[in-house]
Amino acid sequence: MSMTILVPTEGSPLSQKALEVALSDYPDADLVVLHVMDPIGSGLSLIDVMRPTFDDGAPAGSVSPEYWREWHEQAERKAEAVFENARETAAEHDLSAETVLEFGEPDDVILEYAEENEVDRIVMGSHCRTGAERFLLGSVAERVVKRAPVPVMVVR
């Protein structure tokens, strides 16, 4: 039975490097490229999500359905671009990769996917944050490493 390797990606250069490492180190594995869209972490603040919108008929404290529909469509377009790049990279290694789009808090979604889909290893990039930025923003990779049910390789 072959291994299943999960490669979470948001399209950054370090995520690309993690994908290339996974393809090189695990050529016989089933590769899953996971892209997680986070409505809060993708440029929207809690204030944006909770702001009153009266001009479109939506209740105060909500965001209109049209807003979320547009956000979702943009997220899917971004994911497809990330996935196309991942498929091209896999093809360069004469391999293929399954692609999965999920929505939610990235670290929670990555961990949940790994648990529910019998993933054997996670290979992911690190953003190499330091100092105050790391303290304030945290690190998805760090949270995944601390809570993962399987080994995690962090590529820098």
Residue-wise pLDDT tens digits, 6-46: 999 999 999 999 999 999 999 999 999 999 998 776 554 44
Range in 62-66, 69-73, 78-82 the model is least confident about: 62-66
Residue 51 confidence (pLDDT):
44
- pTM of the model as a whole: 0.82
CB-based contact 155:126 (threshold 8 Å)? yes
Dihedral sign (CA 110, 5, 89, 129): positive
Q: Would you say residue 91 has pLDDT above 60?
A: yes
The CATH number linked to 91 is 3.40.50.620
Question: What are 114-144's pLDDT values in tens digits?
Answer: 999 999 999 999 875 555 544 444 588 989 9
The pLDDT value recorded for residue 60 is 54
Is the distance from CB of 52 to CB of 64 less than 8 angstroms?
no
Cα 87 to chain centroid, rounded: 16
Counted domains in the chain:
1
What domain range is 149 assigned to? 4-155
CA distance 152 to 156: 13
